[in-house]
Amino acid sequence: MPEIPIREAAMAAILAALEAASLTSGGYPVTVERNRFDDVAEGEMPRLVLLDGNQDPDGGDNLEARQTCRALLAGYLTGGTVAEVATAINRLHAEAVRALVRPYGAAMPGPIALGDAIHDIQITEGGLRVETPSVVESEAPMASFLLELTFETHSPWGSPFITVP
């Protein structure tokens, strides 16, 4: 059975939860991808880009180490008017939060399973930033947002892996 770093398992599970939500914006399906660092062009929007973030130790006990991990979720949208884009940004942000905090259509906040039937993560919504290019930069109304996500991982000391079937 393969071992996967728990950080990798967590990020893959977050991506899978976003994909499972089949988000749309303005009637178009929202493409979701991970760890992209090239600029997003208008023709590639609407799009969500999930970026691996940093982590910090958060104590633990004799059995396991705990880490507070961060991920960044960036959203990119275009639309007919600046007002439409602003509204669409708010909707996509809200739907992404729901897809991650209440994953797979859960009625209440719940964890995202990591695939080994043991570990899971609970996503906490962090700060949100929005950036809208000025008209001297873009003739097409477009905007992006950046949402910080945090979650905690638990793994054996010195072996931050999970084993998946």
Q: Which two tokens stand for residue 110?
A: 């719940």
Contact present, 25 and 77 (Cβ < 8 Å): yes
Stretch 22-41: interaction string toward another protein, x if CB under 8 A: --------------xxxxxx
Rounded CA gap, 112 and 106, in Å? 10
Rounded CA gap, 132 and 136, in Å? 11
Is 133 near another protein (CB under 8 A)? yes
Q: Looking at residue 111, what DSSP letter applies?
A: P
Stretch 41-80: interaction string toward another protein, x if CB under 8 A: xx------x-x--------------------x-x-x---x
> Which span (95-103, 105-113, 116-124, 142-150) binds another protein, by CB under 8 A?
142-150
Rounded CA gap, 160 and 158, in Å? 6
Is 107 near another protein (CB under 8 A)? no
Residue 58 Cβ vs another protein, minimum distance, rounded to whole Å:
24
From candidates 59, 137, 158, 165, binder to another protein by CB under 8 A: 137
Cis peptide before 57, with omega less than 30 degrees from 0? no
Write the single-letter amino acid at 102. R
Is 136 near another protein (CB under 8 A)? yes
Other CB atoms closer than 10 Å to residue 91's CB: what's the count? 15
**Site residues (vs another protein, CB under 8 A):** 36-42, 49, 51, 72, 74, 76, 80, 82, 129-131, 133, 135-142, 144-146
